[in-house]
Structure 1
Amino acid sequence: MTPSWRKPAGMLAILALIVVWCVAIASLSAVVGGWPWPVQAVFYLVTGIVWIAPLKPLLRWMETGRWR
């Protein structure tokens, strides 16, 4: 069984997603830094979880070759 090209492509896509998400959230740090700490905590908790949402279809594509 030969490995599919989708696995390395998917891994690169996951790494790119993480980098883009981190840069986007870090660029908001000046704005978020002025918020009260409980609001900051909720913001970072939500943004720390939301980036996982696109992973399910991407992982499915890596395994099966289909998005759905």
Structure 2
Amino acid sequence: MPPRLRKLIGTVLIIILVLLYALVATTVAVATLGQLPWYIHLLYFTVTGVLWILPAMFIIKWMEKPGKPRDE
């Protein structure tokens, strides 16, 4: 797969990941945190705010793989 195509696909995947992750994390927070103290909210949003980086890291590593050299 050409590197430019891989980067385009990876960029689209990261955008979709961030949008879906934010939607799920916010939905879970609204459904479960409710009347809990502020520090639980802070902890939840700190953890979920950093956690999305793990799957994005794998996508970025995949995007940065070198392409196969062409036979000349």
Shared fold (TM-score greater than 0.5)?
Answer: yes
**Residue 10 of structure 1 contacts residue 58 of structure 1 at CA under 8 Å; is this kept in 2?**
yes
The answer on 1:25 being equivalent to 2:19 is no
| Residue 28 of structure 2 is aligned to residue 14 of structure 1 | no
Give the total of aligned pairs.
64
Identity, in percent, stands at 30
User: 1:35 and 2:36 equivalent?
Assistant: yes
TM-score (norm 1): 0.82
Q: Which secondary structure does the structure 2 equivalent of 1:4 belong to? A: helix
Partner of 1:48: 49
Deviation at 1:31, TM superposition (A): 2.0
Aligned-pair CA distance for 1:37: 0.5
Q: SS state of the match for residue 5, structure 1? A: helix
Relative contact order higher in (CA < 8 Å, ≥ 6 apart): 2
Give the aligned CA root-mean-square deviation in angstroms.
1.7
* Structure whose alpha-carbon radius of gyration is higher: 2
Runs of 4+ in 1 over 3 A off after TM superposition: none
2:5 aligned partner? 5
Letter in 2 for 1:31: T
Structure 1 residue runs without a partner (length 5+): none
